[in-house]
Amino acid sequence: MYRVLVTDSLSQQGLDLLKSFKEIEVVYSPGMKPADLKVALKDADGIVIRSGTKLTADVLDGQTRLKVIARAGVGVDNVDLPTATRQGIIVSNTPDGNTISTAEHSIAMMMALCKCIGPASQTMREGKWDRKSFTGAQLAGKTVGVIGLGRIGIAVAKRCRGLEMTVLGYDPFLSEEKAAQLGIELYRDLDAMLVKCDILTVHTPLTEETKGMIGAKRLAALKKGVRIVNCARGGIVDEEALADAIESGHVGGAALDVFTKEPPPEGFRLTKLPQVLSTPHLAASTDEAQEQVALEAADIVANFLTKNEIRSAVNMVPISGKELEAARSYLDLAYRLGLLLAQLTKGESVKGARLQFKGDVATKPVKLIASAFTSGLLSAALDTNVSIVNADMNAADRGLPITTISSTEAGAFATLISVTAETDKGAKTIAGTTFGNDFLRLVRIDDFQLDSYLDGLMLIFWHKDVPGVIGAIGTAFGKHGVNISHMAVGRKSKTPGGGAVAILNLDNKPSEEALKEVAGHPDILGLQLVSLPVAGAPLPWLGL
Ligand SMILES: NC(=O)C1=CN([C@@H]2O[C@H](COP(=O)(O)OP(=O)(O)OC[C@H]3O[C@@H](n4cnc5c(N)ncnc54)[C@H](O)[C@@H]3O)[C@@H](O)[C@H]2O)C=CC1
Ligand SMILES: O=C(O)C(=O)COP(=O)(O)O
């Protein structure tokens, strides 16, 4: 039974969907305290959150059971992504569900700010009829600058165009063509855009780059009387600098849905200012948006836990259950090649690895298959649980470059994965293929071609290609009660007499004595006993 925590308020439809999975037990506890959260996560396989739950490094550290975090919404700035990734936890969000509601909220805030709706309504509540204190601004004909032209920024820009505004935009990742199609005048230089705006609205995520992006200097460069809207994240517009600029009269007003600290601390200046219209992070709080994000988040967690499907992940390549199934044998093959290569290079210092995908495998999600290889390569060396989620990060942390080349053109095999490790002692290459869906084969060790099973206990021995070697080993193992289930021999040249390699798949582990006897054979040049999972073993390194 999987346990899923829900620690922020979630729409009933999402909760019902989660509960409909018989494999899932739902613990609904909105507003859980951080200290309780840390404890509760120890027994949880998944968690569904909104912006209220802070999954900090401290909370996530050491959570070995947790596998998936679903954010019912967009921003994942409340999740410590490096810690989650390092621990192999998948983090997904629901990027589309609240776009329109948030864009509408931004427009509502912009309009209300320009029409003095908040303060005027307050005077009416107080029984006054004050028509002199409130003179607003018309939106039509004004210039609005939109920073961040993603889903919400574009939806805001379209609505501003509908209001007959001139729309300027700044987003390093939007093309000129797309901006032109949308009727947005695109700027590559933010400062050049800022001086033209009557209204400025921000729609970027909160990142190292966007934090404090609109600070004192940029506020001073804006037109006098400019109005500012922030329905993205607190801190993109520096709060102290904004309060100063409003008090000085340079900025005409601001409409804010989000704050650096939520709820803002006692005595917080901005929300007290009459020129500021504020809402408590409400932009996504509509019935429609909440139903959609909750259903999507429930789906993400349930499909991941019950079907391995990775959807909308922000810390790894997304993959559907169907794609995963289609790539499963290649993921398994790559993982086993990683495990084998780690054992063959034991005692050497690995400096990096190269992967080559040829034939059918190149049509599959090779990035993920490469991560499966990396998790095999690293799993013996690290005591952390290495999976396809955190393998790349673990390799990068250790300065271990893993490069890939792919070609859909098949060579001697319909599909082939070749992997080479560069070590302080040179290079070691092995290659594998699949026969059908279930049979994984090792077909190359360095220059030796062969056809060996890639599972269980394997004794690899390098020997002189002369008669009698294989028979002698068989006899020795027979004497020591070691059963051989399969054998493969390969040699470099087509003619006998050179070097050769053999791999015996064994049913039981040979004793030291048996290995010593075999190693002592005059024609055996070297041997190594390696161990791989049995054929068809579950794939825990997927992150399950
Ligand atoms: N107040 C609320 O309830 C809600 C707030 N949000 C916030 O809105 C943000 C935007 O959401 P979406 O549009 O769905 O995300 P998105 O990922 O579609 O768009 C973000 C855009 O910001 C751009 N960007 C990133 N760094 C930038 C930079 N330094 N300068 C300029 N542009 C930059 C990106 O290129 C991207 O186009 C979210 O990250 C979240 O923080 C989202 C939903 C609800
Ligand atoms: O989706 C987002 O990024 C939001 O900010 C919405 O936050 P919420 O889910 O309403 O706490």
Q: Give the span between the Cα atoms of 458 and 529, in whole angstroms.
A: 6
Mean of the pLDDT values across residues 39-47? 98
Mean of the pLDDT values across residues 105-129? 98
Least confident range from 171-175, 355-359, 520-524: namely 171-175
Query: Helices in 380-489 by DSSP H: which ranges?
Result: 391-397, 469-479
Short-list 534, 538, 543, 536, CA closest to 368: 543
For residue 308, what pLDDT is reported?
Answer: 79
Determine contact, residues 501/448, Cβ cutoff 8 Å: yes
| Four-way CATH pick for 2-97+288-318: 3.40.50.720, 3.90.650.10, 3.30.200.210, 2.40.160.100 | 3.40.50.720
Q: Which of 152, 159, 202, 278 to mutate to test the pocket of ligand 1 (most atoms within 8 A of CB)?
A: 152
End-to-end CA distance of the chain: 13
- What is the C-alpha R_g of the chain? 31
Mean pLDDT of the chain: 93
Short-list 341, 316, 350, CA closest to 542: 316
Q: Give the span between the Cα atoms of 521 and 479, in whole angstroms.
A: 15
Angstrom distances, CA of residue 477 to CA of 77, 485, 489, 508: 59, 12, 17, 10
Ligand lying closest to the C-alpha of residue 230 = 1
What confidence tens digit (pLDDT) does each residue in 278-311 have? Answer: 999 999 999 999 999 999 999 999 999 998 788 8
Ligand 1 closest atom vs CA 231? 1
Query: Do β-strands 439-445 and 426-435 pair in parallel, antiparallel, or remain unpaired?
Result: antiparallel
Helix and strand numbers, DSSP H then E, in the chain: 17, 22
How remote is the CA of residue 96 from the centroid of ligand 1, in Å? 12
Could you please state the CATH topology (level 3) that the domain comprising 324-531 is classified under. 60s Ribosomal Protein L30; Chain: A; (3.30.1330)
Evaluate: CB of 275 within 6 angstroms of ligand 1: no
For residue 307, what pLDDT is reported?
Answer: 85
Of 333 and 174, the structure prediction assigns the larger pLDDT to 333
What confidence tens digit (pLDDT) does each residue in 400-428 have? Answer: 999 999 999 988 899 999 999 999 999 99
- Using a pLDDT cut of 90, give the percent of the chain over it: 81
Q: Is the pLDDT of residue 217 over 70?
A: yes
Ligand 2 closest atom vs CA 93? 1
Catalytic residues: 233, 262, 281
Q: Where are the domains of the chain?
A: 2-97+288-318, 99-278, 324-531
Of 205 and 495, the structure prediction assigns the larger pLDDT to 205
For residue 316, give the DSSP letter.
Answer: S
Residue 542: pLDDT band by 50, 70, 90 thresholds? low
Evaluate: CB of 146 within 6 angstroms of ligand 1: no
Could you please state the CATH topology (level 3) that the domain comprising 99-278 is classified under. Rossmann fold (3.40.50)
What confidence tens digit (pLDDT) does each residue in 246-260 have? Answer: 999 999 999 999 999
Determine contact, residues 146/170, Cβ cutoff 8 Å: yes
Mean of the pLDDT values across residues 181-200? 97
For residue 484, what pLDDT is reported?
Answer: 94
For residue 431, give the DSSP letter.
Answer: E
For residue 540, what pLDDT is reported?
Answer: 58
pTM: 0.82
Residue 74 phi, psi dihedral angles, 5° rounding: -100, -60
Q: Give the span between the Cα atoms of 108 and 111, in whole angstroms.
A: 5
Residue 237: count other Cβ atoms within 10 Å of its Cβ. Answer: 29
How remote is the CA of residue 205 from the centroid of ligand 1, in Å? 4
Q: Is the pLDDT of residue 544 over 50?
A: no
Angstrom distances, CA of residue 90 to CA of 41, 64, 66, 389, 531: 14, 13, 9, 7, 29
Mean of the pLDDT values across residues 310-323? 80
* ipTM of this complex prediction, to 2 decimal places: 0.99
Q: Which of 77, 101, 110, 171 to mutate to test the pocket of ligand 1 (most atoms within 8 A of CB)?
A: 171
CATH topology identical between 99-278 and 324-531? no
Ligand 1 closest atom vs CA 285? 3
For residue 270, give the DSSP letter.
Answer: G
Instruction: Name residues contacting ligand 2 (CB within 6 A).
Output: 50-52, 72-75, 98, 281, 284-285
Residue 541: pLDDT band by 50, 70, 90 thresholds? low
Q: Is the pLDDT of residue 45 over 90?
A: yes
| Reduced DSSP (H G I as helix, E B as strand, rest coil) percent helix, strand, coil of the chain, to 5 | 35, 25, 40
- Using a pLDDT cut of 70, give the percent of the chain over it: 98
Q: Give the span between the Cα atoms of 452 and 441, in whole angstroms.
A: 5
Evaluate: CB of 229 within 6 angstroms of ligand 1: no
